[in-house]
Amino acid sequence: MESKIGQCALCGYNALVMHDGYMVCEECGTINNEDMITSEFHDYEGYQSASQNKWIMNDKKKHLAHFDGKVPDGKKEGLSHIKIYSKLLTFSSDMVERAENMFSLVYKDKEVIHTVMVTKEALASACLFVEGRKFGQVISIKEFSKVTGVKVGPLVKAINFIKKKFCITLPKSTIAEMCVEIAFKNNIAPDVRRAAQEIILLCDRAWLVTGRQPQKIIWAAFYIAVKSNSLDENRKLTQTNFLKNHGLKFNVQDKERLNEILEILKDIGDTIPWASNKNKKDFVYHNLNDILKYSRMALMEKRMKFLKEMENSQNIQNGDGDEHDESTCQKRKLQSGDEENIDIFQPPILKKVRLPVNEDITIPSSINVDCDIEDMGSDIDEELDGYLRSPEEVKQMEIARALIID
């Protein structure tokens, strides 16, 4: 232990010691022989940039807080962290506000309040990540970690802490999100990733993904996108070599998923009038961009056509026969005069065969024909589906209703 050699001229404590040729006060940090200070002294710039008293007091408070085991609560730093990185991630103001409110509630928790600032930065990032996922933002943890500068380990721990604290269940990762994570991990080019996501979306709508391993589908889509992106350079690139380049082994499932995707894309491409090389083996690779653009338009037209036909069908069920007849929703006359059958999805109850109803049949006295349908009760509302019922059905309904009342 160094012996005290004198009294400090500034703070008055007998705490001066000799250290490397300097007389330094252990209490306030003052260097008494200032003429010996050089730029090599690590606190010299800080000493010059502020007044002597302010520098001493701040330094003293910092060291006292360190010895007392106290650290800043981190609220200001955490909220600033959320605002800065929400702009980089282009999050909406609603998401940012909810993330700030969540952090303001959780930073005082006994498990967090005495932790270091790195943990609180991870907690702020986790609040932003959780709110983003709740609002449907697609971003992987690794990509989020790279943007915010918080390591994956502390970020995952903070996310799990928030989920447990607020009983939050985040939406499960979709195959599109998995595509982003795999692409980010394996340094897949952004244009290849976007094309693969569109391919996967088409396959998802074709019920290809259900019950299958999504990784196989993602890598098959990557292969198609890479080969199509530069067909001349990658003409001889096989799926086996492509997977091998990324440290994966090729198996039969990879080949099956690739053939299924190519078949779907080929069916779409055959409907494009301007597509070239339709009879060639590499037709899909030549026309992938046109297929993806055309498929977006075709799917939208198909959906609009389906919704319109369902609306027409619903109008007929509701009795709007003056404006629409049966041929409107079931068949459509072509310009040549032939009729085109249009399959419209119908719930099973609407497909039930109805017996012809006799117009002279008497209505049971228990049914008030003058009342409004809304006043007839929920049990009758559930049975009404726009069709007249047979006498047997009416009788069964009356018996069932009587049993319930009794």
Mean pLDDT, residues 77-91 taken together: 82
Range name among 23-27, 39-43, 208-212, 395-399 with the lowest pLDDT average: 39-43
Burial class (CB in 10 A: 0-12, 13-18, 19+), 315: middle
Per-residue model confidence (pLDDT) at position 393 = 62
Residue 342, pLDDT above cutoff 60: no
pLDDT band at 219 (very low <50, low <70, confident <90, very high): very high
Residue 50, pLDDT above cutoff 60: no
Mean pLDDT, residues 160-179 taken together: 78
Q: Which of 4, 2, 24 is nearest to 14 (CA)?
A: 4
pLDDT tens digits, one per residue of 230-242: 777 777 888 999 9
pLDDT band at 271 (very low <50, low <70, confident <90, very high): confident
Q: Does this chain's domain 75-166 share its CATH topology with 191-294?
A: yes
> Cα–Cα distance between 185 and 215 in angstroms, integer?
13
Residues paired with residue 17 on neighbouring β-strands, in sequence order: 24
Token digits of residue 341: 């059958």
pLDDT band at 305 (very low <50, low <70, confident <90, very high): low
More confident residue, 377 or 107: 107
On average, the pLDDT of the chain sits at: 67
User: What count of other Cβ atoms lies within 10 Å of the Cβ of residue 334?
Assistant: 9
Residue 221, pLDDT above cutoff 60: yes
Report percent pLDDT > 90 for the chain: 2
Residue 394, pLDDT above cutoff 80: no
> Cα–Cα distance between 34 and 16 in angstroms, integer?
14
Whole-angstrom CA distances from 54 to 16, 25, 47, 140 are 20, 16, 9, 46
Residue 128, pLDDT above cutoff 70: yes
> Cα–Cα distance between 257 and 217 in angstroms, integer?
6
User: What count of other Cβ atoms lies within 10 Å of the Cβ of residue 261?
Assistant: 22
pLDDT band at 223 (very low <50, low <70, confident <90, very high): very high
Give the domain ranges of the chain.
16-68, 75-166, 191-294, 297-348, 352-406
φ, ψ (nearest 5 deg) of residue 333: -80, 130
> Cα–Cα distance between 30 and 370 in angstroms, integer?
99
Report percent pLDDT > 70 for the chain: 49
Highest mean pLDDT among 51-60, 124-133, 303-312, 349-358: 124-133
Residue 35, pLDDT above cutoff 60: no
Q: Indicate the angle between helix axes 141-148 and 152-166, nearest 10 degrees.
A: 110
> Cα–Cα distance between 221 and 179 in angstroms, integer?
10
Residue 36, pLDDT above cutoff 50: no
How many Cα atoms are found within 13 Å in the side-chain-facing hemisphere of 406? 6
Burial class (CB in 10 A: 0-12, 13-18, 19+), 191: exposed
Per-residue model confidence (pLDDT) at position 397 = 64
Per-residue model confidence (pLDDT) at position 11 = 66
Mean pLDDT, residues 81-110 taken together: 83
Q: Tell me how long the chain is.
A: 406
| Tokens 């499932």 sit on residue | 253
Residue 94, pLDDT above cutoff 80: yes
Residue 317, pLDDT above cutoff 60: no
* Architecture of the domain spanning 75-166: Orthogonal Bundle (1.10)
**Which of the four CATH numbers 1.10.10, 1.10.472, 3.40.50, 1.20.950 does domain 191-294 have?**
1.10.472
Q: Which of 95, 181, 96 is nearest to 144 (CA)?
A: 181
